Amino acid sequence: MSKFTVVLVLLVLATIAWARPSGVESSQIDRVAYERCLDQFFSAANNALRGYSRSFNVNEHFLCFSKALGWQNSDGSLNRKNIEGNVDKELGYAKAQQFKDECIIEYSTPELTAGHLFNCAKNYADQNAWLKN
């Protein structure tokens, strides 16, 4: 098991912890799906750490969580209304606009979109309570 894989798994765990549903309105969260995403992520991470699997696509897991949180629709497109609603409530106008410009971006695949959204949101997590517990 490479050090890179261990670091990657730890980074994903930290990002998921920052984005857990406590900071999102409960009506937007599919809790069953969120728990399923957690189970799938930990199973895949465990297999990767033990060397049972060589593939660990973190963006697939980000997509699962993003859908459960209501950040992406079932087809993988961004659910701008839900994301912007949370951002607008918790951030001042300038920060909210900056977040929207930097983070709410559609990429060529739903997985890449989710990966960007989570990585971008992680950059705001230390400063903004809506992403934290």
Write a three-state SS string for 19-85: CCHHHCCHHHCCHHHHHHHHHHHHHHHHHHHCCCCCCCCHHHHHHHHHHHCCCECCCCCECHHHHHH
Contacts 24+ apart (CB under 8 A), 70-74: 70/24, 70/28, 70/29, 70/30, 71/114, 71/117, 72/110, 72/113, 72/114, 72/117
Distances (CA, A) of 2 to 8, 13, 16, 54: 10, 17, 22, 10
Give the whole-number percent of the chain exceeding pLDDT 90.
25
Per residue in 79-115, pLDDT tens? 999 888 878 877 778 888 999 999 999 999 999 999 9
* CATH ID of 3-131, from 1.20.120, 1.20.20, 2.60.120, 1.10.238: 1.10.238
Contacts with 119 (C-beta within 8 Å, 6 or more apart), sequence order: 15
- Which pLDDT belongs to residue 100? 93
47 against 65, higher pLDDT: 65
The domain segmentation of the chain, as residue ranges, is: 3-131
Distance from C-alpha of 50 to C-alpha of 106, rounded to nearest angstrom: 34
DSSP state of 130: G
16-30 pLDDT, tens digit per residue, is 555 554 445 555 567
Is 80 exceeded by the pLDDT of residue 14?
Answer: no
Q: How far is the C-alpha of 14 from the C-alpha of 1, rounded, in Å?
A: 20
